[in-house]
Amino acid sequence: MPLSLDIAVESWPVAGAFTISRGSRTEATVVVATISDGTHAGRGECVPYPRYEETVDSVVEQMRGVDLDTIDREELRRRLPAGAARNALDCALWDLGAKQSGKPVSMSCGHIVARPVETAFTLSLGTPSDMADAAHRASEHHILKLKLGGQGDAERVRAVRAAVPRTRLIVDANEAWSEKNIIDNMRACAEAHVELIEQPLPAGDDELLRSIPHVAPICADESLHTLADLDGLSGKYDAVNVKLDKAGGLTEALEIVWEARARGYLVMVGCMLATSLAMAPAVILAQAADIVDLDGPLLLARDRHPAITYVGTLIEPPLPELWG
């Protein structure tokens, strides 16, 4: 029986608002691809991201242009560029294969044993006092990730560290730092014992990272999408943030992780603001990560059912009913 594709666009409310250097959001818009053989169905969720020139319409159009009856995951990588559309289809194909075979995805991608992993918890960009208050409320999390915005970031880092003196901290500037403030901001991170600094400078304008001391590992996010991007990171970055939506699915993301490790990079597995369906394949990827940032559903007002289970600071592997 030929495969069929169903595409659904969904909006999920954020618990309050989610703010980074590029703006604030009160809902997460996701696109879900469901591929069915008439008996079994596999799903994949993606997040169209304007920073990468994606819209809901462009992602849906890319999905609809794929002939599923003549394609597998490797052919999908050749036909579609890395990005949200390919991610949803790739993850749906992984899920469909698991449903058809009764064999978990984790066993089909290198015999990975899926175990609970500890995830960071993200604090939205805000004033130093607001972020300090949020850090205090979230102090049960062992790792906090601070969204930063450029001007005033040194004060934000110091305020959060004062509020949670023993919590592990990582920071994400989302390309908001510049030559004028990066040294002061990095000095504040060093004083606060920040463990990772994510994408401080804009992608394509980050050569300065070769010539300044790295007070903590510097992690490429917007500067890394696919396996081919690893070649341009040497000397600038110490770590990479692998996300399924950037890589274009679990198939490519697995290769990035293995190759990054072989080249000596620390590996972070991250996510977009999305539901448990998007986190599920990333949990498989996270088994090989040094730092995990898969808290997307914790930032939403509600999640889909069944959902990923969070136990304290741990994220459990997905149930087959959800994915994989």
Q: How many CA atoms lie within 13 A of 272 on its CB side?
A: 29
CA separation for the pair 229, 197 (Å, rounded): 19
The number of residues making up the chain comes to 324
Residue among 103, 145, 180, 243 flagged as catalytic: 243
CB 263 within 8 A of CB 238: no
**What burial letters (b/e) apply to 138-151, b meaning 16+ CB within 10 Å?**
beebebbbbbbbbe
| Both structure tokens of 259 | 């190759």
At position 18, the amino acid (one-letter code) is: F
**DSSP-derived 3-state class of residue 12:** strand
Residue among 147, 180, 236, 246 flagged as catalytic: 147
CA separation for the pair 241, 127 (Å, rounded): 26
243 has catalytic annotation: yes
Phi-psi sector, 271: left (phi>0), alpha (psi -120 to 50), beta: beta
Nearest to 168 by CA among 196, 130, 199: 196
Nearest to 199 by CA among 179, 218, 180: 218
**DSSP-derived 3-state class of residue 30:** strand
Number of DSSP helices (H) and strands (E) in the chain, helices first? 10, 14
Write the burial class of residue 180 (CB in 10 Å: 0-12 exposed, 13-18 middle, 19+ buried): exposed
Q: Provide the annotated active-site residues.
A: 147, 243
